[in-house]
Structure 1
Amino acid sequence: MNDKRFIEVSFPVKEVSEESAREKNIRHGHISTLHIWWARRPLAASRATSYAALIPAPENVEEWDKKRQFIINLSKWENSLNHSDIAKAKKDILSANGGRPPKVLDPFAGGGSIPLEALRLGCETYAGEYNPVAVLILKCTLEYPQKYGKPKVEKEGWFETKKNPLLEDVKRWGKWVLKEAKMEIGRFYPEDEDGSIPVGYIWARTIPCQNPSCGAEIPLMRQFWLAKKNNKKIALKLFVNNGKVVFEIAKNPDFDPAKGTVKGAIAKCLVCGSTVDANTTRRLFQQGKSGQRMVAVVLHNPRKKGKTYRIATDKDLEAYKEAEKYLEEKRAKLMDEWGIDPVPDEETPEGKGKGAERAFSVRNYGLNTYGDLFNSRQKLALITFTEKVRLSYQKMIEEDYDKEYAKAVVSYLG
């Protein structure tokens, strides 16, 4: 008996690869926006290969051409919710498997692309993972939408509307969390006088120049681009003033912003021109002799399109220092309430051995705990949002939400 699958005989690699590459630029509605996963498979490729692996090999050239073209169309992002295409794919798969949905197992499911597409194609799907982050992603991608996210018809007079209860609650409580967090820590992100809102702060880690006759602060930045589009080129420009490196904003720069002050941990002092070798740079970090400097602020004005940039001011730095003070109060309060430090104090990988532990080690730069990866205001924001998400769960229980359902909602918020 010839039981070859289509994918064993042929597959439109070029076309599906192009759709997979195009998918990287899609944000709205894509599962990649749910949570970062480092080895996430493209949905286009997952959908196309799953289908091609579950239907039989073509019997003739005409059938091959039709199936091949269908696979190309099926891989397109805009067809991922095309009911007629998905229905045809399901029918083909059922027909090829004796009228029963085939069982699909992904034992290393990661971000969930393959099991999601198998579900979309009507398969009985199983996903396994060992990493707890991946397990949470899989629950939010596969389990909770199936369990709680089926639209319900609501009648309002003569009108009927379909509402997804899970979606509505995630939106409702997401707004609540954001509102509560803004009320508490919004003052540490002051608006500009024209109403522009800070949406990002650009910092540089620093080390002192090791030239005994210099000792200037070296901002460690690999490149200086802020915006690099055809119609918008903005960069940071550095110059020396009274023995100190000063920044300014440069539009359409006449220098190469791709050349920074550090490469491979080898740093260059712009004041005296001397270099700091990689081992010395790492040693300075490990000895606690590194610093940090707020360089620029990224802004968005709700009444205008796009982002603007300006150099950080004393007012920006003062807001940060106030956040530092408040972090200590907040941290102590939550430590008393929770019984653990709200700022992650688990050790970062040592960088020994093989694989991810070696690849992701930051110990060489004195970042010994996960909390060390963030500055004070970032820590404050993270623990505040964590607190508000926990409080949202308590409020849901007070409103008689089912505990498992409330857990599903806060899984998306956290």
Structure 2
Amino acid sequence: MKLIERWLPTEYLSIEAARERGARFPPLFWLHIWWARRPLIGMRTVVAASLVDADGVDERRREEFLRAIWLKVGNSRRKESSYPGQPERPAYNHNPLVEVLEKLAGRTLREVRLLDVFAGGGSIPFETLRLGVGEVVAVEYNPVAYVILKAVLEYPMKYGQRLANDVEKWARWMLNEAKKRLAPYFPRHPDGNPTSYIWVRVYRCPIHGVDIPAVTFTRLSERRGYGLRTEYSNSDFKLRLVKGEGERTYERGLRCPKGHIITPEELAEAHAKAMETWDKGDIGHQPAVLAAVKLDNGKYVEPTPEMIQAYQRAVEDLWRNFYQWLGKYIPDQKIPEGVKTGELLRRGLDHFYKLFNARQLLVHATVVQLIREAYAGFLQETNDPEYAKAVVTYLALAHGKLLDYNSILTQWNTHKDTIRNTFDRHDFQVGQDFGEGEIITEGTGLLDWVLFSNTGVVRAVRRIVELLGEARRRGQSVRVLLGDASDPSLYADLGIFDLVVTDPPYYGNVNYGELSDYFYVWMRLSIGDLYPEAFSGELAPKEREIVVNKTRGCDKGCFERRLRAVFENLSHVLREDGLLVVVYGHRSFEGLRAMFRG
């Protein structure tokens, strides 16, 4: 019997998991968003407790176990050091004491093989490698997660420090090239460098024909004390930036200055009608107005005529190139009907390219071009296709992060003076305002941030390489596979495992396939040729996805049957005395019962 079957330090675990999330999150999370990621310390504890025998583990040996995984935090819930004399950092920053764990386990962990068939963002396989397990196999059905896993596990283990150096080199090249090409669309302001553009959606009153901005807040900035007020002139308006409290025009409906209240349903219809202009050649049109600009000194300003002209230049240049770029640098896929996409379709957002304004679309198309150019340039330099593929994969992940923070589905965070990302929740949100990142400013531009900030992709790669350094030196191995865990053929050549630890989906809690399409369609253009096994389809595969989704005919019964098929398959690749550990992170026990029913 293993330690996890008798005891798990849940109190310490909860405290340390909160510390981990209260910091800047681990570097795996910085690379690219993935939904429902598990805390590293939680997965480290679960795997470690599955390796150690319960017999003979007394209070003293439990203390040794806690120390080996850096979990003991004493009785305090404050953010403090795990052990005296150690820096106040979350436990994941410290390498597990593998020798102590091997002593407690009574075996060499290099002999152990572990399988995770729902690897997702990679928390389980990542910490398993750090615990000294000899061979780790991570399986994922979703192509976007598959690429993330390659970047989190395989490439750092295979290439080490030189990978981090070359990612930094080509990230710097991409940033510099982007600045040159995009500079005409991002003018400076006399009072400082812009960092963010705040847009407000505009609707036409169906009764009076008046255009109305949908201002949902009285304070544009809670910290700085700015607001917006609307000045009307006949059927036109002007948004004015004011110091102090502004005026809200939208609250459970949009208030027309002539008295009519426009309902949310009417607003959705009006938005859909406005978006029809794309199909008539008005490429890049969004029914929104540039309301304010935030500068790098914290000041807010109204947009200058130069800023308006620069945006118009982006509209014209996008229109000139749109059909030539469509399907090459800009995705041409329609947004499919789904559980999470209904609100988009209702508002006329029926193609993925309609989720961006003209300048955002121009930026993303440029970044796709640069990623492809970076691969060609690095391949010529190294003559090593696999290594060039690895390096530019991180550029594509950085683009994913840029996509998350630069779309019309973002929102302006009035409390933090920042852009709230597209996937702030596990769905597509269409708010009444959105933020657009300034791209080219040194240090504060959005592309600079996703690449070189403290939570940027370059630092993430470097830190991941460091954290996996001991595993690499010990000669451990990891494989990332793309496949369907409910399909028996997946397991044909995998052999037998000592341990299976996995975190399966929970009914329809997260529709990974639908959400990941947003990134998939862009990755398919930037690195799809490098991953033909992952990007052959127009959209992310969903036919065999284990998730409740009524639009695809998979109800709870379907979900449970597919999940049982996975466990049946796992029973054939697990040693007779092996252990299956299922991580369950939902407040309802219904799914847990269903998991083992029958």
TM-score (norm 2): 0.56
C-alpha deviations, 1:258-277, integer Å up to 9, x for none? Answer: x76154xxx22252343212
Unaligned runs of 5+ in 2: 74-81, 83-88, 276-285, 397-598
3-state SS, counterpart of residue 127 of structure 1: strand
- TM-superposed CA distance for 1:331, in Å, is 3.5
> What amino acid does structure 2 have at the position aligned with 1:373?
L
3-state SS, counterpart of residue 240 of structure 1: strand
3-state SS, counterpart of residue 299 of structure 2: strand
- For residues 363-378 of structure 1, what are the structure 2 equivalents within 5 Å? 363-378=345-360
Task: Give the equivalent residue in structure 2 for 1:219.
Answer: 213
Q: Which moved more, 1:67-76 or 1:27-36?
A: 67-76
Matching of residue 294 in structure 1 with residue 303 in structure 2: no
Seen in structure 2, the aligned counterparts of structure 1 residues 48 and 323 have a Cα distance that, compared at 3 Å, is: same
- TM-superposed CA distance for 1:93, in Å, is 4.3
Q: Which moved more, 1:139-148 or 1:290-299?
A: 290-299
Provide the aligned length of Structure 1 versus Structure 2.
Answer: 368
Task: Give the equivalent residue in structure 2 for 1:125.
Answer: 136
> What amino acid does structure 2 have at the position aligned with 1:202?
I
Task: Give the equivalent residue in structure 1 for 2:61.
Answer: 63
- TM-superposed CA distance for 1:68, in Å, is 4.5
- TM-superposed CA distance for 1:379, in Å, is 0.6
Task: Give the equivalent residue in structure 2 for 1:197.
Answer: 193
- TM-superposed CA distance for 1:334, in Å, is 4.1
Matching of residue 281 in structure 1 with residue 267 in structure 2: yes
8 Å contact 2:375–2:389 — kept in the other structure? yes
Task: Give the equivalent residue in structure 1 for 2:71.
Answer: 73
> What amino acid does structure 2 have at the position aligned with 1:114?
I
> What amino acid does structure 1 have at the position aligned with 2:202?
T
Unaligned runs of 5+ in 1: 150-163, 302-306, 352-356
3-state SS, counterpart of residue 340 of structure 2: helix
Task: Give the equivalent residue in structure 1 for 2:5.
Answer: 8
- The alignment's C-alpha RMSD in Å is 2.8
**Larger relative contact order, structure 1 or 2 (CA cutoff 8 Å, min sep 6):** 2
Out of 384, 387, 394, the position equivalent to 1:402 is: 384
3-state SS, counterpart of residue 49 of structure 1: helix
C-alpha deviations, 1:29-83, integer Å up to 9, x for none? Answer: 6211100112211222222222223223363334335545665637975443434
- TM-superposed CA distance for 1:207, in Å, is 1.2
Seen in structure 2, the aligned counterparts of structure 1 residues 127 and 90 have a Cα distance that, compared at 3 Å, is: farther
Cα distance in 1 between the residues matched to 2:25 and 2:35? 19
Matching of residue 187 in structure 1 with residue 179 in structure 2: no
Cα distance in 2 between the residues matched to 1:310 and 1:288? 28
Cα distance in 1 between the residues matched to 2:383 and 2:90? 36
Matching of residue 237 in structure 1 with residue 228 in structure 2: yes
Out of 337, 344, 359, the position equivalent to 2:331 is: 344
Cα distance in 1 between the residues matched to 2:70 and 2:268? 50
3-state SS, counterpart of residue 114 of structure 2: strand
3-state SS, counterpart of residue 358 of structure 1: coil
- TM-superposed CA distance for 1:374, in Å, is 0.5
- TM-superposed CA distance for 1:26, in Å, is 3.6
Cα distance in 2 between the residues matched to 1:24 and 1:81? 13
3-state SS, counterpart of residue 40 of structure 1: coil
Say which one has the larger Rg.
Answer: 1
Cα distance in 2 between the residues matched to 1:234 and 1:24? 30
C-alpha deviations, 1:229-276, integer Å up to 9, x for none? Answer: xxx34343324343555434455x457x8x76154xxx2225234321
3-state SS, counterpart of residue 24 of structure 1: helix
8 Å contact 2:256–2:262 — kept in the other structure? no
Cα distance in 2 between the residues matched to 1:322 and 1:376? 10
Percent of aligned pairs with the same amino acid = 32
C-alpha deviations, 1:138-190, integer Å up to 9, x for none? Answer: 000001001112xxxxxxxxxxxxxx211111111111111111111112011
- For residues 2-401 of structure 1, what are the structure 2 equivalents within 5 Å? 3=1, 5-27=2-24, 30-57=27-54, 59-68=57-66, 71=69, 73=71, 77-83=89-95, 86=96, 88-89=97-98, 91-93=100-102, 95-96=104-105, 98-101=107-110, 102-123=112-133, 124-149=135-160, 164-194=161-191, 196-212=192-208, 215-223=209-217, 225-228=219-222, 232-242=223-233, 245-250=237-242, 253-254=244-245, 261-263=250-252, 267-269=253-255, 271-288=257-274, 291-301=287-297, 307-334=298-325, 340-351=327-338, 357-358=339-340, 361-401=343-383
Cα distance in 2 between the residues matched to 1:199 and 1:82? 35
C-alpha deviations, 1:114-161, integer Å up to 9, x for none? Answer: 111111111221111111100010000001001112xxxxxxxxxxxx
- TM-superposed CA distance for 1:375, in Å, is 0.6
